[in-house]
Amino acid sequence: MKNMKNPLSTEIKFLKGVGENRAQSLRKLGIETIGDLLEHFPRDYINRFARQRIEDLIPEERNSFIGEVIAVEKKRVKNKFQLHVVISDGREYLFCIWFKFGKWLQDKFETGQKIWVSGIVTVFAGSFQMIHPEIEILDEDSSPEDYWHKRSVLPVYPLTGTLSINFMRKLVLKAFELYHMQIVETLPAPIIQKYQFESRLDSLRQIHFGEDQKEIWKARNRFIFEELFYYQLMLARSHHQHHHQFQGHVFQLKRTLTTRLKESLPFELTRAQKRVIREIVEDMTSARQMNRLLQGDVGSGKTIITLFAMLLAVENDYQAILMAPTEILAEQHFRNFSNLLLEQLNIKIVMLKGGNYRGKKDDKKRIAVGEADIIIGTHALLQKDVFFFNAGLIVIDEQHRFGVKQRAVLAETNQKPDLLYLSATPIPRSLALTLYGDLDISILDELPPGRKPVKTIWHDEHQKNSAYIEARRQVEQGGQVYIVCPLIEESEKISLRDAETVYLEVSTRIFPDFKCSLLHGRIPSQEKDEIMEKFKRGEIQVLVSTTVIEVGIDVPQASVMIIEHAERFGLSQLHQLRGRVGRGSAESYCFLISYSPISKEGRERLKTMVASGDGFKIAEKDLELRGPGEFFGTEQSGIPVFRHADLVRDQKILVQARKEAFEIIEKDHELCLPEHENLAVKYFAEYFEKEKLFDF
């Protein structure tokens, strides 16, 4: 691509009226260049002449409204001041209330003003009200010759610091007047024609200065498509490299170790397991480097498939490596594999953990000289002094808990091993296409035969005794119980049932004649392992815990899961916890105990849990409620932040963009054809270089 200076990459501070101080505020909004400013889209629009009535406002939803200020009052309520502003449409009243405010806000209002407000509408004492709404005084600081004064529709831009809405409107207008001739097209003509998009220039003009909401949204869709299209173009190129440029190992299905594993299983593989094994074998016996994600709900049988793939590598005289996110999970894999493999197949297994411990140096040497067939470990496998003798396959378990860079360290080793990523967290399709669009995806959508669905029951704090009565009955019949709490110990800042208090209560009052134990993250690792091992052997009947058991051990006799303050947990986490029970032949229960007050979103989560046991449906709902940024929690990294696209709202556009991007890369993976010249313009090259996503 030609390295030419794009006028839209001019720093924003050089635009007249900005300067260094305002540029700093604009940078907080992600606006560093003229191009960034032109793509700083309005978050709302004000229709100054639209007819609106207060009686048409919808409670519990965000509403925008234009009315007249008829009263402004500073009230003293319980020794604290509140600002009350009453707005009218001529018939009804809307009360706007601020609990925290400065004199500047109070002085902003005058009776008789025409004002726009936006916020969540609630009903109190029979009247509509908004708490801390967004506001704009219409026609403030404008003159009759002002461009925006004459408009019936005004854009409302995201702001920060001391930036005013009038300043932002004038700045966008000025930038558009000066630079609109430098706005170049960035989508291929066939795509523009196929989806009936307007040009990039006309779409930007419509978004900032349009007055028809339908046309504005049509223009926004063009930019949503464009953003997703370029991201998928990056994924498509990576996918092409793995399939056509990166040469992997060509394994042979020798049917020695793999067949012995299959014959040793005390159960028949499901159709889904057989299908996924065929997909993995096809990858591993080809010349390309496998780059596959294996998704499966809790208990769907990913471990056997993983072991099959690892044995395929070992029977070809290569090492197979499995990396887990925590020592608990790594040690569980090590125990399970050791019991199965050492006893029957005489395979050498080594486990590598973090920290210093006796034998670690010897284990590293065994790995380096090829005396270890299967290596299991945590992030310790990423240490610079760990050398693999002949890495043929790397499996990354619960891969969303690893950062992208950590995964890349293993993926880019010069031994070019095949790569298999595992996820026990069902991932919604839109998120999978975005985060893992460069991977081939296998899905285990079938549970092993004999697995009974877990009966899920939601109780409030007044009904929780029935949950503990059922738990007591199950223990008396030989079952075991998990009780999960959100906190380890009592907190002064937040009123929640903590694990230590619940443990004291259940061990002395509910299960005094049974063995109870407490498990949480502060317990030393060795003691934690001993507790979990005793629970697995049935020496402990009731385990009170925090979420450390979320990816814990497999205990077939555990038949009851009680989750205290279930309203505080995310849907995917609740589903993972529920998956800890129901692994044996007995009927199993998951009791969700909620405490008041409970939010609307909290109710939605618990209703979803009761209604469905399908992890993929639950994941879709979780994404809808929490958004992609919080879906995996704080441990996830690498989720792209899109400026315009919403992965929940824009799933249809995502699929369209992906299809077009992959077709183009299949035809022209270097983007050299004349019709693709505008796909690598400097504007996007800079954008993706800044985001460290794609090097054109």
- Rounded to the nearest 10 degrees, the angle between the axes of helix 615-626 and helix 571-578 is 150
Q: Tokens for 523?
A: 């317990």
Residue 342 DSSP label: I
∠ Cα 33 36 37 (to 5°): 90
Helix (H, G, I), strand (E, B) or coil at 217: helix
What secondary structure, in 3-state letters, does 121-180 show? EEEECCEEEEECCEEEECCCCCCCCCCHHHCCEEEECCCCCCCCHHHHHHHHHHHHHHHH
C-alpha span between 475 and 514 (Å, rounded) = 8
Task: Write out the two tokens for 229.
Answer: 């299209």
User: What pLDDT is stored for residue 427 in this prediction?
Assistant: 80
Strand order in the sheet with 480-484: 455-460, 589-594, 558-564, 480-484, 542-545, 516-519
Query: Quick one: pLDDT at residue 670?
Result: 81
256 Cβ contact list (under 8 Å, min separation 6): 315
Q: At 405, is the secondary structure helix, strand, or coil?
A: helix
Residue-by-residue DSSP string for 485-538: -SBSS--SSS---BHHHHHHHIIIIISTTS-EEEE-TTS-HHHHHHHHHHHHHT
Question: Checking phi first, is residue 416 left (phi over 0); if not, alpha (psi -120 to 50) or beta?
Answer: left
Spans in the chain with pLDDT lower than 50:
1-3, 403-404, 634-637, 682-684, 686-696
How many alpha carbons lie under 13 Å from residue 209 in its C-beta half-sphere?
A: 18
pLDDT at residue 690, as a whole number? 44
Taking the whole predicted model, whether its pTM rises above 0.75 is answered as no
| Residue 613: predicted pLDDT | 87
Q: What is the pLDDT of residue 636?
A: 47
AA identity, residue 29: L
Helix (H) or strand (E) holding 62: strand 62-77
